[in-house]
Amino acid sequence: MSGIKSNAFTLAYTFFREPAEKVIPELRSYGFSGINLALNYHSSRDLLLRQGPQLAYLSDGFHYYQVNDQAYEPGAIKPEQKDQLPTNQVLDSVLKVAKENDFEVNAWAVYMHNSAIGMAHPDSVVTNALGNKFFSELCPSNPAVAKYAVGMSKDLASRGIDGIRAESLHFHGARHGEHHERFFIELSPITEFLFALCFCNYCKQNFEARNEDVDKLISKVAKLLLLVFEDKDPWLGKQLNLSNLAEVAGEQILKYLKCREEAVTNLYRQISEVTSGAKISFNFVDQAPLLDLNSQDAISNSWQVGIDNSQIVQIIDRYEPLIYRRESTQVAKLAENYLKNIAPNITAILRPTYPDCTSVNNLSQKVDSLVGLGIREIDFYLLDTMRKSDLNNIKSVITS
């Protein structure tokens, strides 16, 4: 199956354990065209397998290069010294060897999921109607946060990379922000959404600028949440969609959601100016398929994280949806929905390992289904956690 372009999503740990001179030619031998290298990433504990089993602990909001402060405008939040590498030795070596091997290197950046900045700058984080702060989630409406995102993009774009693969460049849900999250109460999707809805000072100011009574909306949402927490969630079994949300919280909330979508869209425009000026690509790593793992119409849920697809598709170069599904029919239907409703070309991201793939035949069927739809850019997540057998499976399905 020749003609498929494939990049591997890769942690910087790959190049901590082995030099680029060894890694990059090896990846080329498996059929990879390049890597999406995690240059800004959140905390995690990962079982890495490709270079021998090892538990790796990734730091919160870490920048895997030496940050150039001059890339950041006045008023921007800047990464602290403890949240970056002391030198650019690793990144420089990767870029040098990649150039020698005609191998693509994109910066994979996780923008708004950053506890390091959140803890250091409490005013920068998502704050809900009850005044609770989500320290792991930065608010895109905050000007200092937006300038941080633009500054990081400028810094990365100046280093000789081929593109930026933007993840987490939007709002988030209530869960999966911290290592241990305890919700010992049954919550509906509607309640979880309202609980994580940001009402920080900047989100409020944006809404008030439209002559809207934001205090009225906050009071309404707070009362709804207290009703749940004092007794029982009355919306259990009720689907989270715009119609049901307006029924529960009032029509005003729909205007509020549009307001925050505009803030996110504006941030994408600013970063697009950076990438287009640097003549590098700007792709959106779209997590919408993870909002409902059973949905074939993932983009209908994008509003939940503040993404207006009709605007974003005009700004970025390419959508890269996380098409994490067990069956090839699910992969095909989800991808087809993107092609029909978003853009005629996307880059599909597959996970060639458990729990999505359990055999080379399963992976082959998924790749076949994507190619059958005309998709010839397929990236794979996550290199560091793959075994040699996983890499051989990838090689067998993307090369002839």
CA atoms of 199 and 18, how far apart (whole Å): 45
pLDDT surpassing 80 at residue 400: no
Q: Quick one: average pLDDT of 255-281?
A: 98
Going by the DSSP 8-state scheme, the letter that residue 113 receives in this structure is B
CA atoms of 182 and 175, how far apart (whole Å): 9
pLDDT surpassing 90 at residue 107: yes
- Provide the mean pLDDT of the chain: 96
Provide CATH code, domain 7-181+259-398.
3.20.20.80
Instruction: Give the pLDDT score at 176.
Output: 73
Single out the residue of 107, 90, 79 nearest to residue 164, CA to CA.
107
Q: Quick one: average pLDDT of 44-73?
A: 94
CA atoms of 306 and 373, how far apart (whole Å): 28
Quote the strand ranges of 163-274, DSSP E: 163-167
Q: Quick one: average pLDDT of 361-370?
A: 97
CA atoms of 349 and 9, how far apart (whole Å): 9
Domain spans in the chain, listed from the N-terminal domain onward: 7-181+259-398
pLDDT surpassing 50 at residue 377: yes
Instruction: Give the pLDDT score at 151.
Output: 98
Tell me the whole-structure pTM to 2 decimals: 0.96
Neighbours of 359 (CB within 10 A): 9
- For 207-252, how does the pLDDT look when each residue is reduced to its tens digit (9 = 90+)? 999 999 999 999 999 999 999 999 899 999 999 999 999 999 999 9
Instruction: Give the pLDDT score at 360.
Output: 96
